[in-house]
Amino acid sequence: MVTVSVIKADVGGFVGHSASHPDVLDTGREELERAKQRGLLTDYHVSYCGDDMFLIMTHDRGEDNEEIHRLAWDTFIKATDVAKKLKLYGAGQDLLADAFSGNIRGAGPGSAEMTIDERPSEPILVFMGDKTSAGAFNLPLYKMFADPFNTPGLVISDPLHHGFAFEIHDVKEHKKIVLNAPDDLYDMLIFLGAPSRYAVKRVFNRSTGNIAAVSSTDKLSLIAGRYVGKDDPTMIVRAQGEFPAVGEVLEPFTNPFIVEGWMRGSHQGPLMPVSLKDAHPSRFDGPSRLVCLGFQLANGKLVGPRDMFDDPGFDEARRKANEVANYFRSLGPFEPHRLPLDEMEYTTMPMVAAKLAERWQPLE
């Protein structure tokens, strides 16, 4: 068995919230290399999307392992020290806990982990988002694993034909439910269509029970009770064989759907699939970006990465994302570009409401 853990945090932006500084990423690489040398990790790859650093790790310690989570936490702390020296923006932004207390979950960083029996060939895709939020993967996961117009394998490939089970989390009430596609599709969509509250955590192949996908569902604002960052999410998806083909996993991103998390975490806009070289959202601090790194696992080694959206096949999605971005920007401070009042990460409402309290008159 091999565990793939992706743990990520924004420990400081360069410049503003637009990108990661090379010295911060190098610190991540140095720490994980040391952990590999001492045998804790089988392999690792450190990458980025915008101002978020992603630690992609393989090991044999299982999920929720204290040593692995401590390694990630300590790495983010060291990287924060570097960010502070360079006076990067929002140094340590996502590290909410004062100290590590056994598990990274609830401490600020986002995490997605899966433990698998490595197949003879094990293609995995690691998604890394910036200026978006937990729940952003609901729509693409639905398309990959439940929509035959996206994934013909659901219709024509026997190992996919019995459908997939979706583990859905209610991030506000801390509850979960497992619903099956295709049987429960209509019930499922009432939840998945409300991604600020319900997020797909895991997907399983129903005939084998094997895990197909896992995403981070950590909500920073719910952890801290106030604006502190935007839960820029990550996701791991297995491909081929009993899972969708690589191209079926990537296909949902050809239509830039709308996510929350743009400018000040308080706006909606299109999610743009980009290669690493374009993973630095600057236009109105966006539009929201998504990178996908592909690996072949070989006895726990991460063979790769391949920069999956570095493909002219996604040029049209990027062009459309810019067009949709322009349209949303034209709405200025109005919904649905601006988020509903209770979803905004920034607001002056309590202050303005208090100031104007006297000027409100009852209706006749």
Catalytic residue annotation: 10, 227, 230
Angle in degrees, 0-180, between the axes of helices 22-37 and 66-85, rounded to the nearest 10: 150
167 binds Mg ion (CB under 5 A): no
Closer by beta carbon to ligand 13P, 13 or else 188: 13
Closer by beta carbon to Mg ion, 52 or else 242: 52
Coil, strand, or helix at residue 133? Answer: coil
Per-residue contact track with Mg ion, 229 to 258, x per CB under 5 A? ---x--------------------------
Helix (H) or strand (E) holding 324: helix 315-330
Closer by beta carbon to ligand 13P, 241 or else 256: 241
What, of ligand 13P, Mg ion, none, does residue 29 touch, CB below 5 to 8 Å by kind?
Answer: none
25 binds ligand 13P (CB under 6 A): no
Amino acid in the structure at residue 223: I
Task: Tell me how far apart the alpha carbons of residues 291 and 128 are, in angstroms, rounded to a whole number.
Answer: 5
Task: Tell me how far apart the alpha carbons of residues 30 and 26 are, in angstroms, rounded to a whole number.
Answer: 6
Closer by beta carbon to ligand 13P, 162 or else 264: 264
256 binds ligand 13P (CB under 6 A): no
Of 32-40, 105-113, 263-271, 315-323: span binding ligand 13P (CB under 6 A): 263-271
Angle in degrees, 0-180, between the axes of helices 138-146 and 185-192, rounded to the nearest 10: 160
Among 204, 285, 302, 321, binds ligand 13P (CB under 6 A): 285
Of 97-156, binders to Mg ion (CB under 5 A) are 130
Of 53-61, 197-205, 224-232, 238-246: span binding Mg ion (CB under 5 A): 224-232
Among 105, 176, 197, 264, binds ligand 13P (CB under 6 A): 264
Cβ-proximal residues to 303 (8 Å cutoff; 6+ apart), any chain: 295, 296, 297
241 binds ligand 13P (CB under 6 A): yes
Among 43, 51, 218, 242, binds Mg ion (CB under 5 A): 51
Per-residue contact track with ligand 13P, 75 to 114, x per CB under 6 A? ---------------x--x---------------------
Amino acid in the structure at residue 344: M
Task: Tell me how far apart the alpha carbons of residues 175 and 190 are, in angstroms, rounded to a whole number.
Answer: 16
Least distance to ligand 13P, CB of residue 62, Å: 27
260 binds ligand 13P (CB under 6 A): no
Of 210-239, binders to ligand 13P (CB under 6 A) are 229-230, 232
Amino acid in the structure at residue 147: D
Among 25, 70, 81, 90, binds Mg ion (CB under 5 A): 90
| DSSP-assigned letters across all residues of 239-286 | -STTS--HHHHHGGGGS--EEEEHHHHTEEEEPEE--GGG----BTTB
Measured from the Cβ of residue 222, the count of other Cβ atoms closer than 10 Å reads 13
Closer by beta carbon to Mg ion, 224 or else 298: 224
Task: Tell me how far apart the alpha carbons of residues 123 and 143 are, in angstroms, rounded to a whole number.
Answer: 19
Least distance to ligand 13P, CB of residue 362, Å: 38
Q: What order of strands is seen across the sheet that includes strand 2-9?
A: 43-49, 52-59, 2-9, 110-116
Half-sphere exposure of 245 (CA within 13 A, CB side): 12
Task: Tell me how far apart the alpha carbons of residues 201 and 170 are, in angstroms, rounded to a whole number.
Answer: 10
Q: Are strands 272-273 and 289-298 parallel, antiparallel or unpaired?
A: parallel
Q: Are strands 43-49 and 198-205 parallel, antiparallel or unpaired?
A: unpaired
Residue numbers of the site for Mg ion (CB under 5 A)? Answer: 10, 13, 17, 50-52, 90, 130, 232
Residue numbers of the site for ligand 13P (CB under 6 A)? Answer: 10, 13, 17, 50-51, 90, 93, 130-131, 229-230, 232, 240-241, 245, 247, 263-265, 285
